[in-house]
Amino acid sequence: MKSRCPICGREALLPDDVMPGEVIEHDCGVTLEVVIDGSRALLKPLEIGEDWGE
């Protein structure tokens, strides 16, 4: 499954069985969280140190 890195704009290759919420590290060094939108996988920057206290 292919997606795109929101930080560097380059392609990111994901496993076909990737799960929502899975965290990957892209080639550019950024940490991204996988979000499934229908049949597509989106990537969003993982926010560290925020929104964990719910």
Query: Footprint of Zn ion on this chain (CB under 5 A)?
Result: 5, 7-8, 26, 28
Count other Cβ atoms within 10 Å, centred on residue 36. 14
Distance from the first to the final alpha carbon of the chain: 31
How near is the Cβ of 25 to Zn ion at its closest, in Å?
9
8 Å CB contact between 29 and 35: no
How near is the Cβ of 32 to Zn ion at its closest, in Å?
8
Identify which of residues 9 and 53 has a Cβ nearer to Zn ion in the complex. 9
Identify which of residues 24 and 52 has a Cβ nearer to Zn ion in the complex. 24
